[in-house]
C-alpha cells in the first residue's frame, strides 16, 4: 500500500528556534498534502492543505507566518515551525492524497515536537 513517511519522528528544540518537519510520499505522487496537529487524546485538527507548486491554504486560526508550509514537489511537503514556543509542543501528522484517481488520504507516522 501507499506509504507516507515523516522526519524526524521526534524532535526537541529550544524556545525561539525553528524546526522543520518533512513529509514524503514514498511510492505515489501526491498533488495535495495535509498537515494536522493533535493534542493528547484529542482528535486531529487540520492546520493547512498544501498543493504542489502553490501556496498552502490555512485553516482559520492557524498562523501562516508561524507554520510555514512548502510543497515543492509531488512527493515532499515540509512544515516549518518558526520561533517555536512551548505551546507549539504537539504531535504533528501529515497526510498525502493520491493523485492517481482514488483520492485516498494516507497518513504519516507523526512527529512529536517538544519545545523547551
Partner 1 sequence: AQSVAQPEDQVNVAEGNPLTVKCTYSVSGNPYLFWYVQYPNRGLQFLLKYITGDNLVKGSYGFEAEFNKSQTSFHLKKPSALVSDSALYFCALRDSGYSTLTFGKGTMLLVSP
Contact segment (CB under 8 A) with partner 1 among 11-19, 39-47, 64-72, 75-83 equals: 39-47
- Residue 100 CA to residue 61 CA, distance in Å, equals 32
**What would the x/- binding string for partner 1 be over residues 82 to 101, using CB under 8 A?**
---------x-x-x------
Distance of CA 92 to the CA centre of its chain: 6
43 binds partner 1 (CB under 8 A): yes
**Phi, psi at residue 32, to the nearest 5°?**
-130, 130
| CA angle centred on 103, ends 97 and 105, rounded to 5° | 40
Asked if 105 touches partner 1 (CB under 8 A), the answer is: yes
46 near partner 1, rule: CB under 8 A = yes
The C-alpha cell at 24 is 514524503
- Which spans of this chain sit near partner 1 (rule: CB under 8 A)? 4, 6, 34, 41-44, 46, 49, 91, 93, 95, 102-110, 112
Amino acid at each position: 500500500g501507499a506509504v507516507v513517511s515523516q522526519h524526524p519522528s521526534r524532535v526537541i528544540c529550544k524556545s525561539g528556534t525553528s524546526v522543520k518537519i518533512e513529509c514524503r510520499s514514498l511510492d505515489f505522487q501526491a498533488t495535495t498534502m495535509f498537515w494536522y496537529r493533535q493534542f493528547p487524546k484529542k482528535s486531529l485538527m487540520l492546520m493547512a492543505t498544501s498543493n504542489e507548486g502553490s501556496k498552502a491554504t490555512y485553516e482559520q486560526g492557524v498562523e501562516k507566518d508561524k507554520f510555514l508550509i512548502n510543497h515543492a514537489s509531488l512527493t515532499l511537503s515540509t512544515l516549518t515551525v518558526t520561533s517555536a514556543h512551548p505551546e507549539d509542543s504537539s504531535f504533528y501528522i501529515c497526510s498525502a492524497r493520491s493523485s492517481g484517481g482514488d483520492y485516498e488520504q494516507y497518513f504519516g507516522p507523526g512527529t512529536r515536537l517538544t519545545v523547551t
